Amino acid sequence: MRLDDKIALIVGAGQAPGASEAIGNGRATAMVFAREGAKICCVDRYLEAAQETADMIEKEGGDAFAVEADVTDEDAVNAAVAACTDRWDRVDILHNNVGVSVEGGDAALADISREAFDRIMDVNLLGTMLTCKHVLPIMRDQGGGAIVNISSASSYWTGHPTVLYPASKMAMISFTRQIAIQNADRGVRANVILPGLMDTPMAVDRRVEALGRTRDDIAAERDSRVPLLNKMGTGWDVAHAALFLASDEAGFVTGIEMPVDGGSMARVG
């Protein structure tokens, strides 16, 4: 019970659609946090997806409820935070796990549209900024809290096939460092996880339609690029890293980047 009686607001707690049995980072994190004793406010753009996660948590004996919010809509973000505090009076953990890539129009530079730039930066960076903007005053007033943001190891990869996703995720790293320093004196910690090649619906299933390839083909190609046993990680790997950073065990850890990538970043350069 490493998060016993903690209140966790998880943004992106739903599940991206996909034909596989893979679990997304957000849903896995919501379930792991609940198993460790946290009460979960499941926030997602799609209420049905968030409710499904909340139902899974309650079926295991946890305490959760679902809230619909588009992270690019500040009023909706503010309302989601208010729903959490109305129910439980505080927010101890904020976990941001929202992102789009090729399905948002990401591509090589010559093929990027202004609409794709706006969409990807709004979802991947503005959304995290808005949730932090509305949660940080609560954490500061209550004397502490933990923010865990999800970036990507692609921020550091050279030769990435697209440009906007890694750029937005690198910006998130810098953003997280800034809020870590600016709120350290009030006991608020902020850290960022850099997942590598993961077997999740967003990372694999969504590419099937976008790239016109089979899931097995995409998964095999991604597996081959992972140093650790030539096998992608899963949403559970990200969830357990997030658990550490959200828990009191990481009470002296703030402003760091934590790769969860099977060794991929160890060979950068």
What contacts 259, CB < 8 A, 6 or more positions away?
A: 153, 193, 194, 196, 265
- How far, in Å, CA of 261 to CA of 109, rounded? 26
Question: Would residue 1 count as lying in a domain?
Answer: no
Residue 66's φ and ψ, nearest 5 degrees, are: -110, 145
Question: Would residue 13 count as lying in a domain?
Answer: yes
- Supply the pLDDT for residue 269: 53
How many C-alpha atoms does 61 have within 13 Å on its Cβ side? 3
Cβ-based burial of 38 (10 A; exposed 0-12, middle 13-18, buried ≥19) = buried
- Supply the pLDDT for residue 19: 59
Question: Would residue 205 count as lying in a domain?
Answer: yes
Question: Would residue 47 count as lying in a domain?
Answer: yes
Domain count for the chain: 1
Task: Select which of 88, 156, 165, 175 is catalytic.
Answer: 165
**What DSSP assignment string belongs to 83-122?**
HHHHHHS--SEEEE----SGGGT---GGG--HHHHHHHHI
Question: Would residue 133 count as lying in a domain?
Answer: yes
- Tell me the CATH number at 108: 3.40.50.720
User: What range defines the domain where residue 183 resides?
Assistant: 7-250
46 is catalytic: no
Closest CA to 16 of 41, 50, 39: 50
Angle at 44 between CA 168 and CA 135, to 5 degrees: 70
pLDDT tens, residue order, the chain (269 aa): 999 999 999 999 998 776 578 999 999 999 999 999 999 999 999 999 999 999 999 999 999 999 999 999 999 999 999 999 999 999 999 999 999 887 888 899 999 999 999 999 999 999 999 999 999 999 999 999 999 999 999 999 887 889 999 999 999 999 999 999 999 999 999 999 999 999 998 888 877 776 788 999 999 999 999 999 999 999 999 999 999 999 999 999 999 999 999 999 998 65
Question: Would residue 138 count as lying in a domain?
Answer: yes
Q: Which tokens sit at 238?
A: 């990200």
Sheet of 7-11: strand order equals: 64-68, 39-44, 7-11, 93-96, 145-150, 188-195, 257-260
Question: Would residue 256 count as lying in a domain?
Answer: no
pTM: 0.96
Question: Would residue 266 count as lying in a domain?
Answer: no
